[in-house]
Structure 1
């Protein structure tokens, strides 16, 4: 596994996820960019970017770069925190 390349790609995908989230916030979930062919909604764009990010995270876990148990433990901790904050 090319760890450096995978981490660089993860960083890039996180940036793209950020951009998609901002477009969703600013323009709403159903807005589309008419210059994009085929056009997709901001919701769809965000779903795709999150999926890309999750795929790279899974690849890093499979490659032993990240420890699944540690990632899951942290995710569960943050889920509890975020549920209280955003529910």
Structure 2
């Protein structure tokens, strides 16, 4: 089987196109990796913020429970004062 010059030229063009596509994909991959890195950084910050908000929420719940106990105690004291006629 004889190889024609036109076949070689066609193969060369196809190889050039493949190299060009490879370079484009390499650049796109670099861009996407940078984008992923930024998203991961943002995710870390959001995770820290979420943990902080959870701690605040837990503290808030504890304060609500404490406030309710104080309110109950205050109501008992007010009832005692009423019974005493004060």
TM-score, with normalisation over the residues of structure 1?
A: 0.31
Structure (1 or 2) with the larger CA radius of gyration:
2
Whose RCO is larger (CA < 8 A, sep 6+)? 1
Structure richer in helix, relative to its length: 2
